[in-house]
Structure 1
Amino acid sequence: MAASSLFVGLALLLALSSTGEEAKSERQSQPLALNLTKSEASFDTETAPLLRVGAEQPEPQAVESAVSEPAEPPPEMNRTTYTVKSGDSLSVLFKRAGLTDRDLYELIDQAPEARALRRIMPGNEITFALSQDGQLEELIYQRDRLRSLRFTRTEGSFDAEELERTPDVQIAYRRATIDSSLFLAGQAAGMTDNLTMELAGIFGWDIDFILDIRRGDTFSVLFEEHFLDGEKIGNGPILAAQFTNRGKTFEAVRYVDASGDSNYYTPEGRSMRRAFLRTPVEFTRISSPFNPNRRHPVLNTIRAHKGTDYAAPRGTPVQASGDGRVKFAGRKGGYGNTIIVQHGQTYQTLYAHLNGFRRGVRSGTRVKQGQTIGYVGSTGLATGPHLHYEFYVNGAVRNPVTVELPQAESVPSSEMARFESQVQPIIAELEKYQRDTQLAGLSNDLQVN
């Protein structure tokens, strides 16, 4: 019996030890949920006795310490915005904000992008954010309605960040009939002068807007309008346009190619540009046309006038009419200050009586179409300020007003599918506006009758 009692005691002791190990393992694999309410908390009928057998419960203090304290809000900063006035400098603006030249130097020294602040213009806005102890923490330079530059103090320096807002874009349409001038017709249609100039630039290779415009000519324009916070802030590019001059209609549509460059083409993909500008200067009148038998106004002899004279105020910029390389830039007898540009093997242009040359323009300089190369003057045998312009084809002089100008490159065949998919919706939109306008005009006529 003693042996039997000893065996039972040992068995009971082993059973209790095994139960304690199971309880310890269960606690490790089932962590206590901290977010249970009293009504949700419950014990499993098998686990409950085990928890009562020497199971240690976490102290309330330990549970509370596991919950992180809420972060303190950053201290408030004093923000002040100043509008740049005429005569203001960065130093003046910093002092106005309660800062010193040392603060200005620190910003420019630590953030190279801050050099842009040296180009502030009247109307720009600068916002200073200072800490409670008067230290500059943030500066925002508002370049315009869309672009700003923000400087933020970090550990030991300033970080710069470009900020740009995207305006809301709406499509607008204008149509007008010319009664006296292109600009007056554009103004009557609600177009800005810049938009009218853009329209003239698109069709400028086909239409001479000084000599060719006639009463009754019409045009229609589809373009972007940009809005910010519900307020119009400007116009975007012309998307498509149509111009009827002397009964002949020209059409143009804007295309952005695969490399991101934009140009205007006919709906068939031919470039609206020519390899040369028809007139390389903004002029008031043609003072002397191309004439092989003209009597020279100074020499009083019959001498061929191999170019066209464009009267313009002294100092008016003269543009290269096409891409090329300057062959000559200097004094040339009766021509006075002269520039000759070679355009490939076939074409050559000459610009004479210049008041001076643009800096950097000399023999061997490459120039691009539309780039200013000199300025109108009256040097050489000239009676007044004007540009004398000559145009040569294979060494033979041609009348620059009537010569057939070579076409610029059209859309390559490899991009035609992309071109059509991009421009066809734009052309369809222009045609829709034109139809709606015509129907509205017809309806008004019926109501009047």
Structure 2
Amino acid sequence: MKQLIYILLVIIGFFLSCKKQAEKKNVEIKEIKKPKPIMFFGYNLNKFNVVHDTIENGESFAVILDRHHVMYPKINKIATTIKDTFDVRRVRSGKSYTILISKDSLQKAQVFIYKHNKVQSTIIDFKDSVISAFKHKKKIKIVEKEVAGEINSNLSVTIDSLGLQPTFTNTVADIYAWTLDFYRLQKGDSFKLIYEEKFINDTTFVGYGDVKAALFNHKGEHLYAYKFIADTIKNDAEYYDEKGNMLRSTFLKSPIKFQYRISSRFNLRRRIKLYGNRVRAHRGTDFAAPYGTPI
């Protein structure tokens, strides 16, 4: 009887052992995948706490770093060390910045990235004993485009209707400043332009490049403008007409930016109602501009 019980125990033990081995075989070994590095100006963001923010009115470089646990002696050392690359006093409200903060219990700022615009940034690294700063410029893709328009009111209104920015109006006006009076444009005048647009990441518009060629039809007269670099050493570019004559001359046709409205023109026979419609000569031209316009 004892022998029988012993045999049964051995058999039960054998089956339990086989079951445990089978369970071990069914256990899946899962590999823990490391997160893919997220690179930002050469830094792996996975290693930092990241703050994206905008400089508020009254904020300074020191105030921002102090808020992120950097002591004032260290801030002063940073400002002194990088002064030849970046003047910390020139940070401006409304500008974007990014701070990379340590993930330890101290939560100290270690890198400050100041964005001057969509293209240029300054990176200040003070995470180690060595403080450094360098400038970064994103790669710009230049796309050549063409546009044509007809004047119905004035140049700025027409440019705006074509989906172009106001700065482009000034660019066109500067090209023809010596040959065309933009205050005397007529309805039906027209223009064609070949110009450049700048993009980063192929989709983000960051501004205009050169106007390479232009044609303005004013009162039936064709006014051509071709950009040409005559001095390759100084890289000085000028605009020339179809006969090779430089458009720039001594006197401007529109000496004052044409977006300023003429409030009173030169008129030797001007009559003023306030004075009984008497003739009071106006020997000048008055312009109206918004408050704050520099003189």
User: Is the shorter-chain TM-score for this pair beyond 0.5, marking a shared fold?
Assistant: yes
1:105 is aligned to 76
Q: Is 2:258 the partner of 1:285?
A: no
2:13 is aligned to none
1:81 is aligned to 51
Q: CA RMSD in A?
A: 3.4
- Taking the aligned partners of 1:261 and 1:79, their CA distance within structure 2 comes to 47
- Taking the aligned partners of 1:312 and 1:139, their CA distance within structure 2 comes to 44
1:328-369 per-residue CA deviation (whole Å, 9 max, x = no partner) reads: xxxxxxxxxxxxxxxxxxxxxxxxxxxxxxxxxxxxxxxxxx
Asked if the contact 2:263/2:288 (under 8 Å) is kept, the reply is: no
DSSP-derived class of the 1:198 partner: helix
Shift, 1:128, TM fit: 2.9
1:223 to 177, 188, 195: 195
- Taking the aligned partners of 1:137 and 1:302, their CA distance within structure 2 comes to 73
Shift, 1:290, TM fit: 6.4
Asked if the contact 1:174/1:191 (under 8 Å) is kept, the reply is: no
Q: Is 2:278 the partner of 1:312?
A: no
Asked if the contact 1:110/1:157 (under 8 Å) is kept, the reply is: no
- Taking the aligned partners of 2:60 and 2:146, their CA distance within structure 1 comes to 43
TM score, norm. by length of structure 1: 0.47
- Taking the aligned partners of 1:125 and 1:91, their CA distance within structure 2 comes to 14
DSSP-derived class of the 1:269 partner: coil
**1:108/1:314 CA distance change after superposition, 3 Å:** closer
Q: Is 2:241 the partner of 1:266?
A: yes
Identity %: 20
2:148 is aligned to 175
2:125 is aligned to 152
DSSP-derived class of the 2:98 partner: strand
**1:264/1:116 CA distance change after superposition, 3 Å:** farther
Asked if the contact 2:61/2:88 (under 8 Å) is kept, the reply is: no
DSSP-derived class of the 1:173 partner: strand
1:301-328 per-residue CA deviation (whole Å, 9 max, x = no partner) reads: 99987x53223359776xxxxxxxxxxx
1:76-130 per-residue CA deviation (whole Å, 9 max, x = no partner) reads: 7424233224323223321343323333222112221342453233132233353
**1:286/1:134 CA distance change after superposition, 3 Å:** closer
Alignment length (residue pairs): 241
Matches within 5 A, 1:235-384: 235-256=208-229, 257-258=231-232, 259-282=234-257, 283-285=260-262, 287-289=264-266, 291=268, 308-313=284-289, 375=295
1:11-50 per-residue CA deviation (whole Å, 9 max, x = no partner) reads: xxxxxxxxxxxxxxxxxxxxxxxxxxxxxxxxxxxxxxxx
One-letter code aligned to 2:208: N
Shift, 1:244, TM fit: 0.3
1:197 to 141, 146, 170: 170
- Taking the aligned partners of 1:128 and 1:269, their CA distance within structure 2 comes to 55
Asked if the contact 1:149/1:161 (under 8 Å) is kept, the reply is: yes
1:104-159 per-residue CA deviation (whole Å, 9 max, x = no partner) reads: 22211222134245323313223335374655543322211211112234874412
- Taking the aligned partners of 1:77 and 1:105, their CA distance within structure 2 comes to 26
Shift, 1:205, TM fit: 1.9
One-letter code aligned to 2:155: L
Asked if the contact 1:147/1:163 (under 8 Å) is kept, the reply is: yes
DSSP-derived class of the 1:273 partner: coil
2:99 to 127, 141, 155: 127
**1:119/1:189 CA distance change after superposition, 3 Å:** same
**1:157/1:81 CA distance change after superposition, 3 Å:** same
Shift, 1:191, TM fit: 2.0
TM score, norm. by length of structure 2: 0.68
Gap runs ≥5 in structure 1: 1-73, 318-371, 376-449
**1:227/1:177 CA distance change after superposition, 3 Å:** same
1:328 is aligned to none
Shift, 1:190, TM fit: 2.3
**1:96/1:191 CA distance change after superposition, 3 Å:** same
